[in-house]
Structure formats: C-alpha cells, structure tokens
Amino acid sequence: MASFETLSAFDAQFIYWDSDRTPMNMGNICIFEGGRLFDEHGTFRLDDVRRAIESRLHLVPRYRKKIVEVPGGLGHPVLADDPDFDIANHVKHVELDPPGDDEQLKQVYSRLHEGMLDHSRPLWETTFITGLEGGRVGMVQKIHHAPFDGASTVDVLYLMFDSTPEHSDGAEAPPWKPEPAPDPWVLMGAKWGEQVSTMWNTLLGAQPYVPTGAPQPLGELAESMGVLGQMPKPPATSLNQSVGPRRRYDWVHTSLGELKKARALVPGSTVNDVMLTVVAGGLRELLASRGEDVDDLVLQAMVPVSLRTDAEKASAVGNQVTGFSAPLPLCEPDGRARLARIHASTKELKEGRQAQAIRAMTQAADFAPPALMAAAGRLAVEQSSFMNLTITNVPGPRHELYLLGAKMLELNPMCPIGNQLTLNVAVESYVDKVSIGLVADAECHPDLPVLKQGIERSLAELTA
C-alpha cells in the first residue's frame, strides 16, 4: 500500500514561493580537514563519501522522498518515496582552480544556491569542493525549506556525520525498498477528507460539538489579527526591492566567548540581543554609505523562534517555528546604547503576544483552500513585506563532527531570500565558534563587503 506525508500549509508555502528567481533553499558551507577524504593517489574519495552518506539515509527518511502534487490542487503537495532514488544525483563533487581561496569558495557557494532544486527528485543536494588552500575540502549543503526548517539542517549534520574520528559505516542500516507511488485518485479522496476534517476541527477547536458562545479558535484568531495589526510598518529602504536570480554570499566569524563578553555590557541581555546589535551596526554603515538617512531609522527584523523541544530535535521534521518582529535602531550610533535598546525591546516582545499571534496565523493557513494558497504564494513573491529582513539564529553542533575521520573545521549558514527581502542574515554556532552568514541579491548588494566590515567593527566595539 502506498504511503505519503502531507506538507502543512506553512511547509507548502515554500513550494508555492519556489522559482528560479527566489529558490527556497537553505543550508550550510562546511569546511573539513582534507587528509582522510583523499586516497593514496590524492584523489577525492567520492564513492566512499556517497556510501557513507547513503548508509545514514534511514535516519533522515525525507532524504528519499520527493514532492507529489495533488490533482486539481485539492490539497497541499505530499512527500512520497522516490522509486528512482540515486545517491549520485544528490552527492556531487567540483574542483576549484588554484589558488582555491575562501573568496572562490564563496563564489561557488553562491552559484550552487542559485536556481531551484529538481522537484522530480528529493529536495536536497550536497556538493563537495576540492582544490582549497591547505588541502581542505568544502561541503555545500543545499536543502529545500518545505520538508525541513533551519533547525533540521543541524539535525541532519548530527545524523549524517560521526561524533568521533572513528567512522561508523552504517552497517546497521536496514535495506530500503520504496513504497509504491500514491494513486492520484486516492490522493484526491484523502485530501478532500482532510480538508473537511481540518475545517471542522478549526471551527470547533477539535471538540466533538459546538460549544456555547463564540468558538474559541476563531476568537483567538481575531485577537491574533489585532496583535499583528499593531506591528510597526517597516520603513522604506534599499533593502526591500524585487529579488533577482543571482546571489552574493559572505560571512563574519566570531566566538561564543566574545559574544558573552559583549552580553555582559548590558545585564540580562542575551547572545541573540548581541547578534541583533552588531547586525544593526553593520546595516547602519551599509545604508549610510549609500547616502540613506539613518539618523531616525529603525528597521524591523523578523526573528524566527524554533518551537522544537529537546525530545523532538532528532525526529521532528517540517517547519516548527514562530517569530517576532524586532526593532533595529540604526539611529543609535553607540554600540552599548544600541544593545540596551534592543534588549529592552526583545524582552518586551517575548513577554507579549506577538510570537503567539504569528504562530496562530500560520496555523490558520491550514484552513485556507490549497489552490488559493498556491496562487497567493506565487503573487506574494513580488509583494512588499512586513519586515526589512530576517535574522535567524540557529544553535549548531556542540561537539566536533567528522566525515570518514576528517574533522569539520567550520560551519557557515545560509537562508533564502525573496518576497522583496534582498538580504538575509543567518547565525549559527559550531562548538565554540559562531558564523554570521550574509546572503544577498547580487544586483542589489554589490557592496556587501561594507555590511561585513560594519558588523566586524560593531563586534570589535562591543568586545574591546
């Protein structure tokens, strides 16, 4: 009997937004020690790497599932086993020309993240890059945002790689046989029943009868709409314009120790407050260099918040997030004062209902007809947003990871851009290191190094 997994409305929106101009892909650049990844002749061990990764795929079942559309748009797309799955389509290798420096790596990474993943296959690719200085090996992880969220990319790293230099060959992996493809008529019937059930449960709050008075879920939805209606509107800046197909990528490196040192400047502040502060400092320099007025400027940044519990981290899939819109006072030139303002704002937001309201609205999307959501999703790519940018902070691996005995040295994050958001900032930790990944539209941000240098100066100011 065929089996399939249904994408939630929130997950499915990333399929609807997906295009060659705005591919909804995320991932990481990992950099490994090279020695053990090459054989005695100096050849990259691609076949061994493929076998090592394939031996772990039973731990990430969605890595063998592809998107299947529901006929007539009666339901959101589903995930079903790919009967033609071939690891060679997903684990690839490219070699850089000399000198193989970090700038070349960033350029290759930018190119690899341009364009959509092939929807006829499972939505992920991993490309290994050789020819780097010092014999290092780069790895570009590219995962679609529909089956996975940002926290999932870290979970995948934990599952795919070893926690010690001794490689486990995955001999315990069970043999895999794809489930039969779902019958279109079965899908249509299942989705129709699912829609009726979802509407009924939404109206009744999953109760077997209609309670007296107004249905509580609808009352909560109305309250959430009121909360979101009070959110500040994002100011007009050069950050928000139509997104093109080309990408530019860079990163800033720091450490957890440095961030904790900066946090001590304002009692009660968090590492996330520090990250928002230094990004705001970099944005102040970027926009000022473009001749934009920053004296009274307060940007609005969407800050996603994971809803996963510790028990769910190894098994949960899909997008389980909410978030809040944090004000970034670019008007404040002093780093310490900016940190104090941001801490006060985020503390108030965490105690308020904005995050709950955003979560309620995303859950309410399950009530909308899938065909309407698909059409709205395609239109939304060109619509103005209720924020200026997204700043994501994902806790990464707390211990060192290895591939075939080769140690991972660096982890640099990447998130997609779209919906008039030409810049995305993603922060991820690895052991005691922290990387700030900057993903930008290449045409809109030819001056991305100005932002990088501004963030570095803001970090230096807070940690001096």
pLDDT in tens, 11-65: 888 898 899 999 999 999 999 999 999 999 999 999 999 999 999 999 999 999 9
Of 238, 263, 197, 266, give the one whose Cα is nearest residue 6: 197
The predicted pLDDT at position 419 comes to 82
3-class state of residue 388 by DSSP:
coil
High-pLDDT (> 90) share of the chain, %: 61
Q: Is residue 394 pLDDT above 60, yes or no?
A: yes
Residue 234 CB partners (closer than 8 Å, separation 6+): 240, 299, 300, 385, 386, 387, 388
- In order of 204, 222, 228, 251, the CA distances from 200 in angstroms are 6, 18, 25, 47
The pair of three-digit structure tokens given for residue 72, joined into one six-digit string: 């007539």
Cis-peptide, bond into residue 99, ω within 30° of zero: yes
CA distances for 385 relative to 12, 75, 87, 298, 378, angstroms = 19, 26, 38, 16, 14
Give the pLDDT confidence score for residue 208 in this predicted structure.
Answer: 40
The class level of CATH for 238-395+427-463 reads alpha beta
Q: Which range among 4-13, 138-147, 416-425 shows the weakest confidence by mean pLDDT?
A: 4-13
> Which pLDDT belongs to residue 304?
83
Handedness of CA 209, 212, 216, 222 (dihedral sign): positive
Strands 78-81 and 5-6: antiparallel
Cα angle for residues 101, 451, 251 (degrees, 5° grid): 35
Q: Assess whether pLDDT exceeds 60 at residue 98.
A: yes
Q: Which of 26, 40, 19, 52 is nearest to 403 (CA)?
A: 52
Q: Residue 30's pLDDT is what? A: 95
pLDDT of residue 314: 46
Least confident window among 130-134, 186-190, 293-297, 299-303: 186-190
Residue 12 exposure: Cα atoms within 13 Å on the Cβ side = 28
Residue 25 region by backbone torsions, left for phi larger than 0, else alpha for psi between -120 and 50, else beta: beta
Kind of pairing, strands 25-32 and 406-414?
antiparallel
Report the alpha-carbon distance of residue 200 to residue 250 in Å, rounded: 47
CA angle 30, 31, 35 (to 5 degrees): 140
**What pLDDT sits at residue 448?**
98
What was the pLDDT predicted at 384?
A: 59
| Tokens describing residue 32 | 């490994």
Helix-then-strand count for the chain, H and E:
12, 15
Determine the pLDDT at residue 205: 53
The CA distances from residue 139 to 53, 58, 108, 199, 204, in Å, are 13, 21, 11, 44, 48
**Integer CA distances (angstroms), 435 to 265, 336, 388, 430, in order:** 21, 21, 21, 8
Pair 389, 421: CB distance under 8 Å:
yes
pLDDT tens digits, one per residue of 162-212: 999 987 765 567 889 999 888 777 777 666 666 656 655 555 554 443 333
440 - beta bridge partners? 248, 423
CB atoms within 10 A of CB 357: 23
Q: Which of 149 and 106 is assigned the larger pLDDT?
A: 106
**Residue 200 tokens, joined:** 């009924």
* Structure-model confidence comparison of residues 428 and 376, the more confident one: 428
Q: Rg (Cα) of the chain, in Å, rounded? A: 23
Q: Which two tokens stand for residue 212?
A: 């007296």
- Full 3-state SS string of 30-74: EEECCHHHECCCCCECHHHHHHHHHCCHHHCHHHHEEEECCHHHC
What pLDDT is attached to residue 68? 92
**Contacts of 392 by beta carbon, 8 Å cutoff, 6+ apart:** 150, 303, 304, 413, 415, 424, 425, 426, 427
pLDDT of residue 76: 84
Residue 113 DSSP label: T
